[in-house]
């Protein structure tokens, strides 16, 4: 491709690193149009062959959209990690263009006839396992996306996909803007009672940055969570929790109309493709396979989690009564009194841990874990351009010197960044322009940044979040697939969380904590007594934690298994579905759904259950590590070869059994959580 567009031109940096400093918003649409035109020419070449073969059709289709895939990934990643009004406006043009092109491919009868002819000859082709998987995936991508519809229905499908392509980004934008807009400014120092000194200092710094008097608290997680856990002022906790619950229910950022529209379009699409509903369509390509199996799985966990949660809330209320707190406790009381109760019951305060979790040392720790397990190392390189000053870039190598990829880390919140934490890819591993290329992956989080007089100190949960996203990054970085569409995290949704969630297990282990958990002032290692407390509290209120996740999963399944015409009011529907799943009274006018980006903007629709499904996988898999030693070289190598390197090149159950020796045991999760 001969182009001067900085998005598409060859990078002047090592390993083809993205030239972020040269890329501007106005470059995206021309880059997309150029890569679209190139892809269309390649598609025409594929169609022109008199005889379709695996190479000139199936592999050629894989390669046809290389540049387009890169441009769309780059745009999408910046839209969520470092956006602006221009990017959001551009998304309303770019996402429909991409959706339209995808339909151009899948709805092309001539192209499908070639794919189908090869698929019908598959027994004679003597393909290896990954080639066979590519052929199956390609065939299903056509049949599942309208290739066999009549012309009228194809036109309808096009319109639906183009509408859906706009709704997801708009939903996400509304959540980000609502979070950014809310401010709780405290001017009386008495109202800061209970808040840790480090939290107060950050709040003061945040206020000064915005030229406000007092202390600033926001709905960003590093501000919100410590506030609701430690602030003694009950009315202020209520204000904060209520603001979060209602932030996208009314006004300019109201997501309720977008939800109703999305549900109708998803249902219409599924029925057009001869599926009963959206869930049935999505789950066809999953380990679970059917909505019925997912429901059975969730109910199996609910049977244990719900009574456990009820018992935990009763125990907490008894503690609150003893110390003269409110009866009954409400949702804005739970985190606050739970934190106090945990401290009394286990003589444990999570704030005791933070001095041992300085961000820079935790990063070195997660690198050290990867080095011990998988023989890889990370070398920071300051020469690479980045899209934001907070971002750092690392080159990743096998111990033998083999280059494995680039890792970008972006850890602090700012106004143009989505809340939460995620891993993503800028370049995927696999076949690209005739060669196997190594990946460029990114971890994006929202941790409390350091201030001039205080380092960034993480909570235990934030440390687990970093290990979680790092597990996804390893899945991308260690991939050794032939095709990009199989590499790294391109796996079934209910398998993708295994590499991430299993990494969280190492956080509780002394062998791991000894690698990095040292006091930021004294340099002393975390005492063994404190490590034992981490273990002891790991099962604290696990019934509540499980029920909370099950509530999200069941709400997701309810939305996508209920006729869209029956869902008239989002808040009313959510309240009806979750009334027996919420341990506290519903906040009037509040809603989880309106900020539920996973299912309305993030690809997890009818897939949120996969977090619990993958917890079963990771609990069962980590039992193997516990049996053999958490840094056992042979076990780690097996996990690397059978799970991390293979991506979606084979069916995930076969990959799992190759590592574990048997199918996952559901009771492993309940054992780990102390619920059996």
Q: How far apart are CA 463 and CA 498, in angstroms?
A: 18
Quick one: pLDDT at residue 3?
74
Query: Half-sphere exposure of residue 275, counting CA atoms within 13 Å on the CB side?
Result: 23
Handedness of CA 530, 534, 536, 540 (dihedral sign): positive
Quick one: pLDDT at residue 419?
87
Closest Cα to residue 358, out of 532, 523, 501? 523
Token pair in block for residue 279? 């869930």
The pLDDT confidence band at residue 453, using thresholds 50, 70 and 90, is confident
Work out the average pLDDT over 354-383.
97
Quick one: pLDDT at residue 455?
94
Q: How does DSSP assign 14-43, residue by residue?
A: GGG---GGG--GGGHHHHHHHHHHHHHHHH
**Given a cut of 70, is residue 1 above it in pLDDT?**
no
Q: How far apart are CA 253 and CA 242, in angstroms?
A: 16
**Region of residue 544 (left: phi > 0; alpha: psi -120 to 50; beta: else):** alpha
pLDDT 10s digits, 16-35: 999 999 999 999 999 999 99
The pLDDT confidence band at residue 666, using thresholds 50, 70 and 90, is confident
Q: How far apart are CA 336 and CA 224, in angstroms?
A: 12
**Given a cut of 90, is residue 380 above it in pLDDT?**
yes
The answer to whether 505 and 621 are in contact (CB under 8 A) is no
Catalytic entry in 469, 509, 574, 615: 469
Q: How far apart are CA 545 and CA 461, in angstroms?
A: 13
The structural domains of the chain, with segments of one domain joined by +, span: 14-174, 182-247, 253-347+542-608, 355-538
The pLDDT confidence band at residue 264, using thresholds 50, 70 and 90, is very high
pLDDT 10s digits, 501-532: 999 999 999 999 999 999 999 999 999 999 99
Work out the average pLDDT over 552-557.
98
Specify the pairing of strand 403-410 against strand 392-398.
Answer: antiparallel
Closest Cα to residue 374, out of 610, 594, 57, 641? 641
Angle between helices 66-81 and 28-48 (to 10 degrees): 150
pLDDT 10s digits, 395-430: 999 999 999 999 999 999 988 999 899 999 999 999
Q: Return all residues near 171 (Cβ < 8 A) that are at least 6 apart.
A: 255, 258, 259, 262, 597, 600, 601
Specify the pairing of strand 440-444 against strand 403-410.
Answer: parallel
The pLDDT confidence band at residue 543, using thresholds 50, 70 and 90, is very high
The answer to whether 460 and 353 are in contact (CB under 8 A) is yes
The CATH number of the structural domain formed by 355-538 is: 1.10.1370.40
Q: How does DSSP assign 333-363, residue by residue?
A: HHHHHHHHHHHHHHS--GGGTGGG-BHHHHH
The pLDDT confidence band at residue 263, using thresholds 50, 70 and 90, is very high
Handedness of CA 348, 350, 356, 362 (dihedral sign): positive
Asked if 14-174 and 253-347+542-608 have one fold, the answer is yes
Work out the average pLDDT over 475-500.
97
CATH architecture of 14-174: Orthogonal Bundle (1.10)
Could you tell me what percent of the chain has a pLDDT over 90? 96
Q: How does DSSP assign 504-526, residue by residue?
A: HGGGG-HHHHHHH-B-TTT-PBP
The answer to whether 195 and 226 are in contact (CB under 8 A) is yes
**Given a cut of 90, is residue 218 above it in pLDDT?**
yes
Handedness of CA 201, 449, 538, 363 (dihedral sign): negative
User: Alpha-carbon Rg of the chain, whole angstroms?
Assistant: 25
Quick one: pLDDT at residue 327?
97
162 by Cβ neighbours in 10 Å (0-12 / 13-18 / 19+) ranks as middle
- Local structure of 426: helix, strand or coil: strand
Query: Is 588 marked active-site?
Result: no
Q: What is the mean pLDDT of the chain?
A: 96
Quick one: pLDDT at residue 2?
54
User: How far, in Å, are 478, 515, 520 from residue 526 at the CA level?
Assistant: 31, 10, 11
Work out the average pLDDT over 564-572.
98
CATH topology of domain 253-347+542-608: 1.10.1370
Residue 525: beta bridge partners? 518
Q: How far apart are CA 6 and CA 28, in angstroms?
A: 9
Within 10 A of 108 (CB to CB), how many other CB atoms are there? 18
The pLDDT confidence band at residue 350, using thresholds 50, 70 and 90, is confident
Q: How far apart are CA 527 and CA 515, in angstroms?
A: 13
pLDDT 10s digits, 173-194: 999 999 999 999 999 999 999 9
Q: How far apart are CA 663 and CA 276, in angstroms?
A: 29
- Local structure of 271: helix, strand or coil: helix
Quick one: pLDDT at residue 139?
98
**Given a cut of 60, is residue 115 above it in pLDDT?**
yes
The answer to whether 289 and 613 are in contact (CB under 8 A) is no
Quick one: pLDDT at residue 63?
97
Closest Cα to residue 392, out of 356, 456, 445? 445
The answer to whether 311 and 543 are in contact (CB under 8 A) is yes
Token pair in block for residue 198? 């480090």
28-33: long-range contacts at Cβ-Cβ below 8 A with a sequence spacing of 24 or more?
28/71, 28/74, 28/75, 28/87, 28/90, 28/94, 29/90, 29/93, 29/94, 30/5, 31/3, 31/5, 31/7, 31/71, 32/68, 32/71, 32/72, 32/75, 32/94, 32/97, 32/98
User: How far, in Å, are 71, 297, 345, 407 from residue 15 at the CA level?
Assistant: 17, 44, 53, 12
**Given a cut of 60, is residue 152 above it in pLDDT?**
yes
């Amino acid at each position: 491709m001969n182009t001067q567009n900085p998005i598409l031109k060859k990078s002047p940096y090592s390993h083809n690193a993205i030239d972020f400093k040269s890329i501007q918003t106005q470059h995206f649409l021309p880059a997309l149009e150029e890569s679209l035109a190139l892809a269309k020419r390649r598609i025409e070449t594929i169609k022109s062959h008199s005889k379709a073969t695996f190479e000139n059709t199936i592999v050629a289709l894989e390669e046809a959209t290389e540049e387009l895939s890169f441009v769309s990934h780059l745009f999408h990643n910046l839209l969520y990690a470092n956006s602006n009004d221009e990017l959001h406006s551009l998304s309303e043009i770019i996402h429909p263009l991409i959706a339209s092109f995808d339909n151009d491919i899948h709805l092309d009868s001539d192209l499908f006839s070639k794919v189908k002819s090869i698929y019908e000859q598959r027994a004679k082709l003597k393909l290896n396992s990954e080639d066979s998987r590519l052929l199956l995936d390609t065939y299903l991508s056509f049949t599942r996306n309208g290739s066999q519809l009549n012309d009228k229905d194809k036109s309808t499908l096009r319109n639906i996909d183009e509408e859906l392509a706009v709704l997801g980004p708009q939903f996400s934008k509304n959540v980000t803007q609502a979070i950014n807009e809310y401010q709780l400014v405290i001017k009386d120092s008495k109202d800061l009672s209970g808040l840790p000194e480090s939290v107060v200092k950050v709040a003061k710094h945040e206020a000064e940055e915005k030229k406000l008097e007092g202390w600033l608290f926001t709905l960003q997680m590093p501000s919100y969570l410590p506030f609701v856990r430690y602030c003694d002022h009950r009315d202020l906790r209520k204000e904060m929790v209520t603001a979060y619950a209602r932030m996208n229910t009314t006004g300019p950022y109201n997501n309720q109309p977008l939800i109703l529209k999305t549900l109708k379009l998803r249902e219409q699409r599924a029925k057009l493709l001869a599926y009963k509903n959206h869930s049935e369509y999505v789950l066809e390509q999953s380990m679970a396979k059917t909505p019925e199996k997912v429901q059975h799985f969730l109910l199996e966990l609910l049977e244990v989690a719900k009574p456990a949660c009820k018992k935990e809330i009763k125990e907490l209320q008894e503690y609150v009564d003893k110390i003269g707190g409110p009866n009954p406790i409400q949702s804005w009381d739970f985190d606050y009194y739970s934190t106090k109760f945990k401290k009394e019951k286990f003589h444990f305060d999570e704030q005791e841990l933070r001095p041992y979790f300085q961000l820079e040392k935790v990063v070195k720790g997660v690198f050290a874990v990867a080095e011990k397990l998988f023989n890889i190392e990370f070398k920071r390189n300051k020469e690479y351009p980045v899209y934001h000053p907070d971002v750092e870039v690392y080159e990743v190598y096998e111990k033998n010197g083999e280059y494995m990829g680039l890792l970008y880390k972006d850890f602090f919140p700012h106004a143009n960044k989505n809340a939460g934490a995620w891993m993503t890819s800028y370049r995927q591993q696999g076949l690209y322009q005739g060669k196997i290329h190594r990946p460029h992956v990114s971890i994006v989080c929202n941790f409390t940044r350091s201030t001039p007089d205080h380092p960034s100190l993480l909570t235990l949960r934030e440390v687990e979040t970093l290990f979680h996203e790092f597990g996804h990054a390893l899945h991308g970085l260690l991939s050794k697939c032939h095709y990009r569409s199989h590499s790294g995290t391109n796996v079934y949704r209910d398998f993708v969380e295994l590499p991430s969630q299993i990494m969280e297990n190492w956080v509780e282990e002394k062998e791991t904590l000894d690698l990095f958990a040292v006091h930021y002032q004294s340099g002393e290692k975390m005492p063994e007594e404190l490590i034992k407390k981490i273990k002891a509290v790991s099962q604290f209120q696990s019934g509540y934690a499980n029920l909370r996740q099950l509530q999200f999963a069941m709400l997701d399944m309810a939305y996508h298994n209920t006729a869209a015409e029956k869902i008239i009011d989002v808040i009313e529907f959510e309240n009806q579905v979750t009334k027996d799943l919420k341990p506290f009274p519903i906040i009037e006018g509040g809603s989880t759904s309106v900020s539920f980006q996973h299912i309305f903007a993030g690809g997890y629709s009818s897939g949120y259950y996969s977090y619990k499904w993958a917890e079963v996988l990771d609990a069962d898999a980590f039992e193997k590590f516990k049996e053999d030693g958490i840094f056992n070289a042979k076990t780690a190598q097996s996990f690397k070869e059978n799970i991390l390197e293979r991506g979606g090149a084979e069916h995930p159950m076969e990959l799992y059994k190759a590592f574990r020796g048997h199918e996952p045991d559901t009771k492993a999760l309940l054992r780990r959580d102390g619920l059996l």
